Amino acid sequence: MKKYISRIGIYGGFLLSLFATPLFAQEYSDLTPAALEKINLNNVWQKTSNAAGAVWSDTPKYSYVDAGYEYYNGSFHRPQQGADGNSLHFKSEGNLILNKTRVWGFFSYNRDNINGTQFNSSIIDPYRGMPYYVADTVMSNWKNQHYNMAFRVAYPLNAHLAIGLEGRYQADLGAKQMDPRTLNRQMTLTLKPSVVYSLNEYHHFGVSFEYYSLKEESEMSNVNANVDQTYYKLYGLGTAVIGLGSGRSTNYIGNNVGGALQYQYFGNVNILLEGSYNRKIEDVRVSFSTPQDDSSVRDNIWRGSAVFIKDGKSFLNSLSLIYINRRIDGIQYITQYDNTTSQLGWQTLYSNVRSKYDTDDLSAIYTLMKKRDNEYSWVANASVSYQNKKDIYLMPYSDKKAQNLKMGLGGKINSNLSNKLSKRLLTGIDLFYNKNLSGEYNYQGSHADYPIVKRFETVDLNYLITNYYGINLSAVYSQRIKEDLKADIYIKANYKYTKAKDFEFNHRSIIEFSIGSNF
């Protein structure tokens, strides 16, 4: 057991050693799970899109590796989520200072088995803001893999100016297991250069830019070539075109540009404000051999956040307010095939916006932490969030709306079992309740008898307007590996139960186990 944990520590450390030999600033004597939570709560610049701000964060050195297994089941889910499923994950994260450069790195791998899904035959994540994909009615499983790598570096040019860069690379593979099946590959590459100017020790101004490139390829096929499958090409809110055969090849190509402004006041209260805007255009093309423009999305995201932290002698108070406004315009094309030799292929004649998807999210989280050394003895939090979704298909008109208010209360107790080997038991409970304020789905387009309208969109709306409540229980046991070795090992268990009160839904249960090490 110790041998394997040491190996995990060595491999995790190897990731960070790619940035050369570290020279340390602040280090914690103990990196318990509660201490790591406290570090993350205080690390306000890490939650922004500005990597350069790390220069003015007194974030101590830390690293962790974590491996776990999750299982979920229950009827309270959206039609495209699985009736049940499981997931294996491995992740690693670390933060250190090399001379003056602040360096942060992250890696994760997830392998998901999603069982009993419907109405998705051509996209790995149908909830990522892309309404144009292919659906079918056959119950199927998906096997997905996700790789996520990220880094942040920040370097102070002088006493007032720091530059930073964040990079992310995400690769996903997805495979649907029943005809019409699909094999999907997706990658996203993100770069965020940033600058922070420090007026004095109290006032810091930041600006960051963001660019990411996204590509997803979907190749549909039938293993049983004797049976042609019925599928539906979706165009939003139940509008669909029926097809018969083995589906299609789809190419999603997206580019996003954006920027953000940050302001930090670091006095008695640590205040960090950020406003950001991102605009993405993602095109959907059918077929790789004779590409046809099918549709596009214009995706605009406005985000504003404010974090207030009062870090006193005994207590730490934190208030976090976030507002996100997302506006997606769905564009459809009029195309025609030209088989004259000079123009052979699909010609795009015209395009217009046929649908709009608007979402407003507002949330507030208050945290009160009783400090103990570099960790905490207990923490309590209260949260409230509001979401307003409004989707419209312009002509023929259809709409789908939902407004929800969710409230939560929770807390954790960090029990000191023994100072020898720093044995801790961190137990937590969260209670939440979602109240639906309004919702409706009016479909006035063609083929209202299609299962896309009657079974998919209708059931999806039912999910979005269901009142539900739930509880989340967690427990983490941790201790040092050896008295003179700073690294902690832990074992974690988490159970979340959500009970739906409306329609045909019952519950959703998620159980997770993981082991890891903080060092």
Partner 1 sequence: MAMKKYQLYIGVLISFFLNSACDSFKDAEKVEDVAPLTVTLKTSIGLETVSSLDGLKVKFDNYTEDLHYVRTMKGKELEVDSIIPGIYSVTISGEVNDSEGNDYYMNGGIVNQPLYPGKSEINVSVSGLKISPLIFKEIYFAGSSPSYFRDQFYELYNNSNKLLYLDGIYFADLCPTIATTNLPVWPSEDGHNYVYANRVWKFPGNGTTYPLAPGESCVIAQFAANHKLAIYNPNSPVDCSSADFEFNMNNKNYPDQPAYDMSHVFYNGKAAMGTVPQYLTSVMGGAYVIFQVPAGQTYDPVNNANLHTKNLASSSSTVYAKVPISYVLDAVEAGQNASMISAKRIPQVLDAGMTYVGSTYCGLDIARKRLVDDSGNIMSHDDGSIIFQDTNNSTDDFERGAVPVLRRYNTKMPSWNHTLQSK
Residue ranges binding partner 1 (CB under 8 A): 211, 213, 226-228, 230, 239, 241-245, 253, 255, 257, 279, 281, 283, 296, 298, 329, 331, 334, 336-337, 339-341, 349-354, 394-396, 446-447
Cβ atoms 339, 327 nearer than 8 A: no
Q: How many whole angstroms separate alpha carbon 52 and alpha carbon 205?
A: 11
The single residue listed with the structure tokens 């190509």 is 253
The single residue listed with the structure tokens 């660019």 is 211
In DSSP terms, which residues pair with 335 in a beta bridge? 348
Q: How many whole angstroms separate alpha carbon 229 and alpha carbon 34?
A: 52
Shortest Å, Cβ 191 to partner 1: 8
Residue 20 or 257: the one with the smaller Cβ distance to partner 1 is 257
Shortest Å, Cβ 277 to partner 1: 14
Shortest Å, Cβ 347 to partner 1: 10
Residue 242 or 437: the one with the smaller Cβ distance to partner 1 is 242
Query: How far is the CA of 22 from the CAs of 92, 201, 226, in angstroms?
Result: 17, 26, 61
What's the DSSP call for residue 228? P
Shortest Å, Cβ 219 to partner 1: 20
Shortest Å, Cβ 249 to partner 1: 15
CA-nearest of 248, 185, 259 to 215 is 185
Residue 75 or 213: the one with the smaller Cβ distance to partner 1 is 213
Shortest Å, Cβ 124 to partner 1: 21
Query: Which residues, 6+ apart, have CB-to-CB distance to 143 below 8 Å?
Result: 111, 112, 113, 114, 174, 175, 177
Which SS3 state, helix, strand or coil, does residue 39 take?
helix
Residue 158 or 339: the one with the smaller Cβ distance to partner 1 is 339
H-helix or E-strand containing 119? none
Residue 123 or 392: the one with the smaller Cβ distance to partner 1 is 392
Shortest Å, Cβ 279 to partner 1: 8
Residue 147 or 209: the one with the smaller Cβ distance to partner 1 is 209
Query: How far is the CA of 73 from the CAs of 56, 80, 120, 295, 421, in angstroms?
Result: 44, 14, 19, 35, 37
How many beta carbons lie within 10 A of that of residue 26, not counting itself? 10
Residue 446 or 506: the one with the smaller Cβ distance to partner 1 is 446
Residue 26 or 347: the one with the smaller Cβ distance to partner 1 is 347
Shortest Å, Cβ 257 to partner 1: 6
